[in-house]
Amino acid sequence: MLVDSHCHLNFPELSGRIDDALALMRDNRVTHALCVSVTLQDFPQVRALAERYPHIYASVGVHPDYPDVPVVSEEELIDLAGHPKIVAIGETGLDYFRIKEDCEWQRERFRTHIRAARRSRKPLIIHTRAAAADTLRIMREERAGDVGGVMHCFTESWAVAQGAMDLGFYISFSGIVTFKNAVELKDVARRVPLERMLIETDAPYLAPVPFRGKTNEPGLVKYVAEEIARLRGMSLDEVGAATSRNFFKLFLAGKG
């Protein structure tokens, strides 16, 4: 059994062929997926998917790569997170790779999400790119460790992984870990304790080898798990069982 802890089923590449995506999940024994919100404008579609399909969960948040959307408040996030299928706040975080100008608004938006997560007692889904030091600093300053969460699509160093795990966060690996040139990341995937690890697709992006460059979908998380199993000398079932257990512990503790 496998769980895709992070995908965007509502994005146009996938929204027109949900039935096919769900069928591939079934074929590859991917039992659940978490569909992650990137703006409040797209949130109703994300929530609708979670309402329609029992094995799809959802989050609420405004991604750091969207500079031109309205400022989001803690109250709005807390209100939308009150829904029973909304299991996390995010994705949120910092991305200095795509947005080059002054990023104070990103940091403010990130702080708002952490505060909302703490008040609503929901874990955080954190995106960080070219901004690891600031990301960890703000997580510490805002006491993100009170609720924990996941560093999604992890591509940082072992030191950054350790910093996040010290705050109680999980480390989630995407299809990038299957790329031949991801040497340092493969090493991190060998070292992260199994009980702190999640797997994801970030579909429709970042399809794993041997589908690199194609449209990704949740069923392909199997290839991420297979690569981690290979790197660690374990079976696919062991990696699947551990990462699925972690998913339910983090996002659905006390909800079966």
CB of 162 to Zn ion, least distance (A): 21
CB of 142 to Zn ion, least distance (A): 19
| C-beta closer to Zn ion: residue 91 or 156 | 91
CB of 125 to Zn ion, least distance (A): 8
| C-beta closer to Zn ion: residue 144 or 195 | 144
Q: What 3-state DSSP class applies to 241?
A: helix
Provide the angle, in degrees to the nearest 10, between the axes of the packed helices 158-166 and 132-141.
10
Cα dist. 16→9, 25, 122, 212, 218 in Å?
9, 16, 30, 21, 15
Q: DSSP states of 73-110 as a string?
A: -HHHHHHHTTSTTEEEEEEEEEETTT--S--HHHHHHH
Dihedral pair phi/psi, residue 127, rounded to 5°: -105, 125
Q: Distance (Å, rounded) from C-alpha 4 to C-alpha 1? A: 10
| C-beta closer to Zn ion: residue 59 or 112 | 59
| C-beta closer to Zn ion: residue 91 or 227 | 91
| C-beta closer to Zn ion: residue 2 or 234 | 2
| Binding residues among 214-253 for Zn ion as defined by CB under 5 A | none
CB of 226 to Zn ion, least distance (A): 21
**Cβ neighbours, 10 Å, residue 86:** 22
Distant-in-sequence, close-in-space partners of 156: CB < 8 Å, separation ≥ 6:
128, 132, 188
Residue nearest Zn ion by beta-carbon distance: 127
122 binds Zn ion (CB under 5 A): no
- Size of the chain in residues: 256
Q: Distance (Å, rounded) from C-alpha 208 to C-alpha 116? A: 33
| Binding residues among 162-221 for Zn ion as defined by CB under 5 A | 202
| C-beta closer to Zn ion: residue 90 or 235 | 90
Q: DSSP states of 161-201 as a string?
A: HHHHHHTT-EEEE-GGGGSTT-HHHHHHHHHS-GGGEEE--
Q: Distance (Å, rounded) from C-alpha 47 to C-alpha 53? A: 10
Among 32, 113, 127, 186, contact with Zn ion (rule: CB under 5 A): 127
| C-beta closer to Zn ion: residue 174 or 178 | 174
How big is the site for Zn ion, counted in residues (CB under 5 A)? 3
CB of 19 to Zn ion, least distance (A): 22
| Binding residues among 83-102 for Zn ion as defined by CB under 5 A | 91
CB of 194 to Zn ion, least distance (A): 23
Q: Distance (Å, rounded) from C-alpha 114 to C-alpha 198? A: 20
CB of 234 to Zn ion, least distance (A): 26
Interface residues with Zn ion (CB under 5 A) are 91, 127, 202
